[in-house]
Structure 1
Amino acid sequence: MSACSGTKKGYSPDKKFSPQQLQADFDLYRNILETRHPGLYWYTPKPLMDRAFAEGRAKLNDSLTETAFRNILSLVNTKIGCGHTSIRSSKAYEQYIDSLKSPPRFPVYLKIWKDTAVVVYNLDKKDTALTRGTIIESLNNKPVTKLLDTMYQYLPADGNNPVAKDQQLSNGASFGNLYTTIFGKSDSLKIGYRHAGGPLQYTFLQFFKPDTSAKTGDSAPKAVSQKTREEKLGEIRSLKIDTVRNFAVMDLGSFSPHLDLQSFFRQSFKELKKRKIKELIVDLRTNGGGAVHNANIFTRYLVNKPYKLGDSLLTLRKSARYNRYLRKDKLALWVLGFFTHRENDGYYHFSYYERHRFKPKKSLHYDGAVYLLTGGFSFSATTMVVHTLKGQENVTVVGEPTGGAAYGHSAFMIPDVVLPHTGVRFRLPAYRFVMDKKVPRDGEGILPDIYAGPTIEAIRLGRDYKMDKAIDLILEKRKD
């Protein structure tokens, strides 16, 4: 199916594909989206999407590498305004990157918000200029504001939600990775920076290559202890109880079906009841979603009345066309065949989720004060949780708006599509979900009750400003 080898040894990132191959893959990408994407024109009218497709295809008149082709696809893809529809590298490229030993890296990790870029980490410990809390003003004489405007055009988000895009760029090495993908690597970058209240200064940033050589006197590499499954799970979901101040923090980084969440929830809420914990902070800041079933079970432990997941859940049509290019699609096709039916609007509706009212848990239901921490990575199924609980008397949402749109999103089942010539993949959501038809369809996330956003000072000091705010709210309320 793919023109490039699927092995690490046979792949070269410099390999170029012919215009005919690129155009064929691009046309297939467009045809599949127009045939099967349930929300293609939600945020961008058809004439503007048609123009984006035409502009993208017009750039394919010369041979290009996979990376260059992906950049063109990403520019078109972002116009859709769907956070679940993203461009991915081929498996061969992915394996090639994994095979590299300590490749040179963009050394600086940044926190991005509202046209502001601040250093949160620097791989180069010898760099005394770009330390935590340093404000970045320019890269190679390009102002950060203009750089961000360019980089946003490559990042998918619901309705081009700016909080979601800022958070994507703030995720570890993501800013540096996207910067080099768009602008390429160079020996060094001229960085304009300043410390808080200080003058504009310049330094040169070089790509960082970790020293993997053994130090003198080392007889053998130290054995790395393997983490147990429980330790790995504990890094994603955990319950910690502050025995001094008598409140609990539940870190819930995903609703993935592979985390034994039903057992975790049952044990956690049992422990909260046993210890008579009256305040619970739930950290959803890194939770990009997962299984709707798990999100729903969690919600039922906290919600105080029956609720629906949303207003509508539908797909455009039942069609086997293009199935041979889809991966992990068997479940989606089975569900489409047995649980959706055509209604008067011509769409195929998943009526169970549209009409069923889920009830609160009777056993181990939590009635104490709940503080939900949210941000740009609070997405997909997590947005559904926040939507259901926000406004409940004992629930306070703290942080930044969710990265997932308050109106709804296209998701639920998301197979990969593999383009046959380049091997480039893209995610294709199967359903269009309207969570709340009363709110504007503008891509804006669910707003917090109490805003707690980043500040330069908080980053410099390494403070967890959202968690600090939630704890302050608990302690202040106790004084009342």
Structure 2
Amino acid sequence: MRKKYWFIFILVLFTVLSSMLGYFYIQKKNEYRQIAGVKYYNSTDISNLAVLCKIWGFVKYYHPSVVEGKYNWDDELINMMPKVLKSHNKDERNLMLSEWLASLEDFEQETLPELYPDSVRMYPDLDWITDKTELGTLSDQLERIKTAKRNFKKDKFIQYSDNTISGEAEYNKPTYPVTEYRLLALFRFWNVIQYYYPYKYLISENWHKDLLEFIPKFIDARNELEYKLAILELITKLNDTHAGMGWNNTIEKWKGENIAPYQVSFVEGKLVVTGVYAVRDTINANHSIQVGDVILSINKTPVENIIAEKCKYTPGSNYTAQLRRIADFILRTNAEKMYVEYQHDGRQLNTVVSCYTMNRVNITSRFQRKETLFKTIGDSIGYLYLGSTNGGVVPQTINTKGLIIDLRCYPAYDKIGGYMDYALLYTEPEVFVKFTMGNSKFPGLFQYLGELTAGSENPNAYKGKKIILVNEVTQSHAEFIAMKYSVAENSIIIGSTTAGADGDVISLKMPGGIKVMFTGVGVYYPDGRETQGVGIVPDIEVKPTIQGIREGRDEVLEKAIELILKER
């Protein structure tokens, strides 16, 4: 009998404790909703969070003790969020932030080095720290931190390993982080771009206004997909073809796990079929659409409407590069069928196309293909395709009427030898490029690092005309090689706008197991002209036409052959 009473007593106690715990959990949850802004926030809250973001990032990269990792700076941010959001006015917020900074370890001062204007490409964007109307006496503290003595050799947060910023905590789980960690992701990325993106001055919109725009988007993201799309949208603001997100299952599902078996490209402003993919284990694939046909709508949505929707989430240094990227997934879907309206021989037709899982479709790369590295074409004209996956070494002796170097690809550098320093092309050394890189001692400063030279004195250099072919596929390393080859004597570039993203790629880990990428080094012509966004501008512009695609012609290559024969 006594056991029964004990059992009842324990059951009642458990029920009471559960209710109390539930009550406290609900209270805590509601408090969190009100404090962290999961649902309830206003313009003042957004402004306060933006100020916190800027100060947190500035101190992260400028305060010596924080730079050296003496504080868990992510945790400091998480702890400050609810406090800042509870502040009733600007003065209260600034006082709280001022006390926070005052609690950090003191530091020595250092005289900033004299900067020669001709050596600087971009100065740090620090005017905001002088705004005493917004920051009050907090401004003085930030000014003092600006001139702190920093040991960049002990920098915790900007460590490059395999082109990855390796000093950041990863937070891989959960893949849909809670609000404060979503904001941490935004603040981390915003500040890396603020201080270590070489082309911040080319961002089309004000980066500070972008912060105010994206704080609500990161707060309001209701699930993993919305969170990752918010990141993609933010990345797209950089206007950088290097920018993007590492392979992510959620985004791949959003793009579509199936694909209609066609390669498409934007030609003359229209979506044109440029190839038909083979489908594994399928005999009766529907190929009623043919090469040269123009796709007008997909599932009754006009192509131009799809472009407008996808551009928002498709990073690119220029519109041409964005279209190239969109073309790679515009025919993807999660359905097994796709209704397509298209134009064939001037007639508007429609069809239902079967779609297949990506692993069943033999999707050919735009960047490389299995082709001979070097061959003679036409009337004794050399043709060098640096995207060849067959491998080999570029020829060191050539006896042809001219040489065409096809850089409408990404060079297969792991398979091809001799092309990086192709001495055969140059009669004498020529300066072809200069770089800028970030500065841990003075974050946000980008200075020129010096120039690089191609070639050397070579009386046996190839004297014939050299024509370099480029288009929107020519990106990064391919653009760099185009710059390098173009300074060779008797060379000319023909084709169309390149991707406009030269230099290397830096990656950054974000909460939720996400990796984002962007350009890490500035690349310029010797006279300081831009390559980012602009790309490699051809001397003669030649673009494919829809008619040429229908006829199976390579009009850019044809023009190159014509120029060589005309000169001869």
**TM-score normalised according to structure 1 size:** 0.68
Which residue matches 2:553? 463
Which residue matches 1:425? 515
Unaligned runs of 5+ in 1: 6-14, 213-232, 320-341
SS at 1:41 equivalent: helix
SS at 1:59 equivalent: helix
Shift of 1:282: 0.6
1:17-416 counterparts in 2 under 5 A?
17-45=177-205, 48-62=206-220, 66-90=224-248, 104-123=258-277, 126-158=285-317, 161-170=318-327, 173-177=328-332, 180=333, 185-198=334-347, 200-209=348-357, 235=370, 238-242=373-377, 245-253=379-387, 264-265=393-394, 268-270=395-397, 272=398, 276-287=399-410, 297-298=421-422, 300-310=423-433, 312-318=434-440, 347=445, 349=447, 351=449, 354-355=450-451, 357-360=453-456, 362=458, 365-390=461-486, 394-404=490-500, 411-412=503-504, 414-416=505-507
In structure 2, distance between residues paired with 1:202 and 1:431: 47
In structure 1, distance between residues paired with 2:478 and 2:488: 16
Deviations, residues 278-332 of structure 1 (Å, cap 9, x unaligned): 31111100127979x987513x53244432233x42223226xxxxxxxxxxxxx
Unaligned runs of 5+ in 2: 1-169, 361-367
Which has more radius of gyration? Answer: 2
Q: CA RMSD in A?
A: 3.9
Which residue matches 2:108? none
- Looking at secondary structure, tell me which structure has more helix per residue: 2
Which residue matches 1:322? none
Shift of 1:187: 4.9
SS at 2:218 equivalent: coil
Residue identity (%): 19
Larger relative CO (CA 8 A, sep 6+): 1 or 2? 1
User: Kindly tell me: are residues 155 and 113 of structure 1, through their superposed partners in 2, closer, same or farther at Cα, counting changes over 3 Å?
Assistant: farther
Shift of 1:191: 1.9
In structure 2, distance between residues paired with 1:461 and 1:364: 40
Q: Does structure 1 retain, via aligned residues, the 8 Å contact 2:430–2:488?
A: no
Q: Does structure 1 retain, via aligned residues, the 8 Å contact 2:196–2:520?
A: yes
**TM-score normalised according to structure 2 size:** 0.58
SS at 1:287 equivalent: coil
User: Kindly tell me: are residues 436 and 401 of structure 1, through their superposed partners in 2, closer, same or farther at Cα, counting changes over 3 Å?
Assistant: farther
Q: Does structure 2 retain, via aligned residues, the 8 Å contact 1:17–1:63?
A: no
Shift of 1:252: 0.7
User: Kindly tell me: are residues 57 and 236 of structure 1, through their superposed partners in 2, closer, same or farther at Cα, counting changes over 3 Å?
Assistant: farther
